[in-house]
Structure 1
Amino acid sequence: MNESLLRSLTPGVLGVLVRRGADFAAAEDAVQDALLEAVRVWPDDPPRDAKGWLVTVAWRKFLDATRSEAARRRREDRFDEEPAPGPAPSADDTLQLYFLCAHPSLTPSSAVALTLRAVGGLSTRQIARAYLVPEATMAQRISRAKRTVSGVRFDHPGDVATVLRVLYLVFNEGYSGDVDLAAEAIRLTRQLAAAIDHPEVGGLLALMLIHHARRAARTAPDGSLVPLAEQDRARWDTEAIAEGIGVLQGALARDRLGEFQAQAAVAALHADAPSAEETDWVQIVEWYDELVGLTDSPVVRLNRAVAVGEADGPRAGLAALAAVDDSVPRHTAVAAYLHERDGDLEKAARLYAEAAHEAPNLPERDHLTRRAARLNARRPR
């Protein structure tokens, strides 16, 4: 059974049912039932037209479910005539599903879960394992999301920026359970890039590819974090980096700069440097200046302070950091790093220890704790 084929066909099949007038929640349930039927039947009797087979079976499942509910019997007249089996329509509704699943009425977590289910074709169990929550909890989250968007019509353009934010949230979840969400986000973003001509889609795809290319070097054999400057660049995926840079260049050539393109440009400069010492920090600061203009994000300003510290010296970085709200996540860790670079080991060690207490996860906490211990060991007694 080709699971990747089923997952790639899922959004198109769901889109056909919705376009025929099916309620989104009921249509999504019918598609999932059809996928289960495919897993059972296809190994012994593979169809000639996989999408057409799924559309036909899903439509029958939908009609059966509709006719079984008394509250929906008045709607049966609309669905009495089942379309004759045959080739599936060529129209691609995938893009509309992206917009629907990233509807502004949904919370970010619900939008991510619904995107993985309806567009990604993942099962509720797979999504639950990826997010390390009980399957029942994820089922409730997806059900609420489906009910929320059931009445939404495909009659106005969707918000590309919202779709991209949802995909970036998926990517940043990385890997847990039996689903590699970073790889899944890249697959979905490729799919989106094929359906829509927008430079920010290319920017996001490039950013994902370049970041993902460094994945193997981010952790040591014992599971500890390896900072970018200390990573073994021979372990980076050069093919993915080259692809990402190519995609980015195509997006930038459109001369419609957006935040994901600018972030990808920063990532590309890191990836293009033969060593940490040869990184073009001056150009990275220039790209962060572009990002500040685009987003005015405190996180961007925090990252810019690090870049300024590398380009113009740690005191310049500390001056830039002073303009950033100290409540921004990882502010203390950045301050510790810049004070270490400036030679104030006592203050840096204290700040690393404070940052460890604020760390959002165990690997980061252990990394910061080790840095504090290393500096304390170097201090004169």
Structure 2
Amino acid sequence: MVPSDPVEEAVGQAFREEWGQVVALLIRVTGDWDLAEECAQDAFATALERWPRDGIPNRPGAWLTTTARNRAIDRLRREAVGAAKLREVAAMVDDVVQVSPADSDDVPDERLRLMFTCCHPALAIEARVALTLRTLAGLGTGEIARAFLVSEQTMQKRIARAKQKIRNAAIPYRVPPAHLLPERTPAVLAVLYLLFNEGYTATTGADLIRRSLSAEAIRLTRVLAHLMPDEPEVSGLLALMLLHDARSDTRQDAEGILIPLEEQDRTRWNAPMIAEGIEILETALRRREPGAYQIQAAIAACHATAQSTADTDWPQIAGLYNQLARYVPSPVVRLNQAVAIGMAEGPAAGLLLVDELVASGTLTEYHLLPATRADLLRRAGRYPEAAQAYRDALTKAITEPERAFLRRRIDEVS
């Protein structure tokens, strides 16, 4: 095995830990998003050149911030901006760069400002996700485009429009004041959860799981939880992600076909990640400020701690879904509740709820509605009806792993 380059490892770690902080500082002072990203990129490129010769600095984040600041000063000087702006940039990190965020719990809120700006409600949800990945996670435009299966040109325009909207609408670069936090934090959490879900169960394409996206969502949520430790819903979302992600390695077989929860090898679930998720959730619940993410994490914890499907506390899960419906009154929540009731009280009870959803016409294009109905029919031994429902689901499923799973089920009940 070829030994890894310590400098490349150090730069890679610094990129993961410091990119968002460096860019956030530069954006705050210069107000120029493109300049901030370019100078940050230059700083990391310079690190690859100089660290092999000069050694890895004790505080990589401070070194990178100073280098990016100097590059920004050079650029602004060449562009003949005002002297006041140059002085502001020159002094921008005098009281910050002495301590790297990775070295201290006293993390400046620059990334928090950036996160709330990227996720401002005035931006379209697609733009929020793209801008968050670009500025906070440091993903390239091509990477983001491939993740969401659009052309690089399309994604480039999407990001450019988002930045232009921020400028033209004068969206403030700040954490909202206390009285606006309750209405603004959910927008940030929604973006992070959407990002995680797209990685955990892709909505399009050949791959069911895109680990890079779910990993970035977890990393950014950790940052947010660290910066907002008194927000239980932030902790609830982080716990939810960890409890789900702990099962990722068991969700597909060697051929890439989806493996349902009841058939997964629970001995291969990530036990330390489950333990961390439960600890975070219990800490959040002790604040007695329940919310949708905490309830969903509690449901995930019921699954993660059960030894088998038979040992799962399905009545408790059904009750938790009933609570969740008060916060998220959506037909998808009711569909999940129907599954839990079907497991707790028998397939017939679950089918009653599913058939109500079918009659309502609210999920006509959602492939999991006929797939859930098919599974309940299969459990009830009504195989011809189950086969037809699986075929209905197959016409609506988008990802190939899910389609392959449905074809396998059709063969089983036929």
Instruction: Output the TM-score relative to the length of structure 1.
Output: 0.90
Name the residue aligned to 1:187.
Answer: 219
Counterpart secondary structure, 2:130:
helix
Counterpart secondary structure, 1:219:
coil
Q: Cα distance, 1:154 vs. partner? A: 3.1
Name the residue aligned to 2:85.
Answer: 79
Name the residue aligned to 1:97.
Answer: 114
Higher mean alpha-carbon deviation, 95-104 vs 124-133, is at 124-133
Which of these residues, 249, 256, 280, is aligned with residue 289 of structure 2? 256
Counterpart secondary structure, 2:82:
helix
Q: Cα distance, 1:223 vs. partner? A: 1.2
Check conservation: 2:77, 2:86, Cα contact below 8 A: no
Which of these residues, 317, 321, 339, is aligned with residue 284 of structure 1? 317
Check conservation: 2:237, 2:294, Cα contact below 8 A: yes
Q: 1:16-55 counterparts in 2 under 5 A?
A: 16-45=25-54, 46-55=56-65
Q: Which letter does structure 1 place at the counterpart of 2:71? A: K
Q: Cα distance, 1:17 vs. partner? A: 2.2
Question: Closer, same or farther in 2 for the Cα pair 1:80/1:244, shift >3 Å?
Answer: closer
Higher mean alpha-carbon deviation, 20-29 vs 165-174, is at 20-29
Higher mean alpha-carbon deviation, 2-11 vs 160-169, is at 2-11
Check conservation: 2:198, 2:210, Cα contact below 8 A: no
Name the residue aligned to 1:335.
Answer: 373
Q: What is the rounded CA distance, in whole Å, between the counterparts of 1:293 and 1:144 in structure 2?
A: 36
Question: Closer, same or farther in 2 for the Cα pair 1:146/1:292, shift >3 Å?
Answer: same
Q: Which letter does structure 2 place at the counterpart of 1:335? A: R
Higher mean alpha-carbon deviation, 200-209 vs 335-344, is at 335-344
Structure 2, unmatched stretches of 5+, are 1-7, 100-107, 201-206
Q: 1:202-351 counterparts in 2 under 5 A?
A: 202-324=235-357, 325-328=360-363, 329=366, 330-351=368-389
Q: Cα distance, 1:131 vs. partner? A: 3.3
Q: Which letter does structure 1 place at the counterpart of 2:84? A: R
Q: Cα distance, 1:315 vs. partner? A: 1.5
Q: Cα distance, 1:52 vs. partner? A: 2.9
Question: Closer, same or farther in 2 for the Cα pair 1:89/1:115, shift >3 Å?
Answer: farther
Corresponding position: 1:352 with 2:380: no
Counterpart secondary structure, 2:288:
coil
Question: Closer, same or farther in 2 for the Cα pair 1:220/1:374, shift >3 Å?
Answer: same
Q: Which letter does structure 1 place at the counterpart of 2:122? A: S
Partner deviation per Cα, 1:6-45 (whole Å, 9 max, x = no partner)? 2311222223223334333432333233233333333323
Corresponding position: 1:110 with 2:160: no
Check conservation: 1:126, 1:179, Cα contact below 8 A: no
Instruction: Output the TM-score relative to the length of structure 2.
Output: 0.83
Higher mean alpha-carbon deviation, 112-121 vs 18-27, is at 18-27
Q: 1:85-164 counterparts in 2 under 5 A?
A: 88=97, 91-150=108-167, 151-155=170-174, 156-157=176-177, 159-164=184-189
Check conservation: 1:262, 1:287, Cα contact below 8 A: yes
Corresponding position: 1:63 with 2:73: yes
Check conservation: 1:127, 1:179, Cα contact below 8 A: no
Could you say what the CA RMSD is over the residues aligned between the two structures, in angstroms? 2.3
Q: What is the rounded CA distance, in whole Å, between the counterparts of 1:129 and 1:39 in structure 2?
A: 26
Question: Closer, same or farther in 2 for the Cα pair 1:143/1:37, shift >3 Å?
Answer: farther
How many positions carry a matched residue from both structures?
A: 372
Q: What is the rounded CA distance, in whole Å, between the counterparts of 1:281 and 1:179 in structure 2?
A: 29
Higher mean alpha-carbon deviation, 313-322 vs 10-19, is at 10-19
Q: What is the rounded CA distance, in whole Å, between the counterparts of 1:112 and 1:4 in structure 2?
A: 23
Q: Cα distance, 1:111 vs. partner? A: 1.3
Q: What is the rounded CA distance, in whole Å, between the counterparts of 1:162 and 1:185 in structure 2?
A: 14
Provide the identity percentage. 43
Partner deviation per Cα, 1:144-180 (whole Å, 9 max, x = no partner)? 2222224322353451111111111111122779961
